[in-house]
A and B are shown apart, each in its own frame.
Chain A
Amino acid sequence: EAGVTQFPSHSVIEKGQTVTLRCDPISGHDNLYWYRRVMGKEIKFLLHFVKESKQDESGMPNNRFLAERTGGTYSTLKVQPAELEDSGVYFCASSQVNELSYTFGSGTRLTVV
């Protein structure tokens, strides 16, 4: 089966610009998660979808971040406007219902200059 796919793999943008990250989960996985690793720090939870509904967005840093999951399939994470501290690696993961372990994507490395 195809794994979790993230686009783009790398993105370099200027401060103040907008960037949209995309995640395609494994087909049939209702749970979709976003995590982020800022340089030198641990990987931290951002939010969790069950199908198209946000169940837990307690980790979203501020209102410059907007996550959506269209029709319960792929998800996007938009950062608008981007700030320097948003730089890091953004991971997406998915799992089946009631499954505790996830499958992670390769991540998107975002650099804000």
Chain B
Amino acid sequence: AQSVTQLDSQVPVFEEAPVELRCNYSSSVSVYLFWYVQYPNQGLQLLLKYLSGSTLVKGINGFEAEFNKSQTSFHLRKPSVHISDTAEYFCAVSDLRDAGGTSYGKLTFGQGTILTVHP
């Protein structure tokens, strides 16, 4: 079974400061890792994903995340945040499943981290 722990439920930060949102996962198989963001009154939007290759993954809006297999972590970082980054962020893990000859991923989400950027 897979699980995801987001270590901070809320992160307040001032504009232009750096931020790190922490995510740890557990899984018995190879995993694929994602960060999604939900802006107020909107759906979930993919920020970035790690499937294979380089452990440093760059996403949209200046965010990046580093996959650390030994520490089973996938922390999200941004060097300088903006007011518009205020949102809820979700870390998720997926394994690869077979469905009649095709593959799909079933996401397991963390509890979410509310990032609030203050002026």
Q: Are A104 and B102 in contact (CB under 8 A)?
A: no
**Residue in A3, A50, A102 whose CB lies within 8 Å of B102:** A50
Residues of A within 8 A of B42 (CB): 106
Q: CB-CB contacts of A26-51 with B at 8 A, as 1s and 0s?
A: 00001100010000011111001010
Number of interface residues of B (CB under 8 A): 30
Residues of A within 8 A of B92 (CB): 43
For chain A residues 78-94, which have a beta carbon within 8 Å of chain B? 91, 93
Number of interface residues of A (CB under 8 A): 28
Q: Is B74 part of the contact surface with A, judged by Cβ < 8 Å?
A: no
Q: Are B46 and A97 in contact (CB under 8 A)?
A: no
Residues of A within 8 A of B36 (CB): 104
Known: A41-B111, A42-B112. A50 touches B100 (CB 8 A): yes
In the complex, A93 Cα to B45 Cα: how many Å?
Answer: 11
**Residue in B44, B90, B96 whose CB lies within 8 Å of A100:** B96
Q: Are A104 and B112 in contact (CB under 8 A)?
A: no
Q: CB-CB contacts of B63-92 with A at 8 A, as 1s and 0s?
A: 000000000000000000000000000101
Known: A4-B43, A91-B44, A106-B43. A43 touches B90 (CB 8 A): yes
Q: Is B51 part of the contact surface with A, judged by Cβ < 8 Å?
A: yes
Q: Is A55 part of the contact surface with B, judged by Cβ < 8 Å?
A: yes
Task: Closest A residue to B42 by CB, please name it.
Answer: A106
For chain A residues 1-35, which have a beta carbon within 8 Å of chain B? 3-4, 30-31, 35
Q: Are B45 and A31 in contact (CB under 8 A)?
A: no
Residues of B within 8 A of A106 (CB): 41-43
Q: Are A104 and B43 in contact (CB under 8 A)?
A: yes
Residues of A within 8 A of B12 (CB): none
Task: Closest B residue to A100 by CB, please name it.
Answer: B105
Residues of A within 8 A of B4 (CB): 42
Nearest CB on A from B1, distance (A): 12
Q: Is A75 part of the contact surface with B, judged by Cβ < 8 Å?
A: no
* 20 examples of A-B residue contacts, CB within 8 angstroms: A3-B43, A4-B43, A30-B102, A42-B4, A42-B109, A42-B110, A44-B109, A45-B106, A45-B108, A48-B99, A48-B106, A50-B99, A50-B102, A95-B105, A100-B51, A101-B49, A104-B36, A104-B43, A104-B45, A106-B41
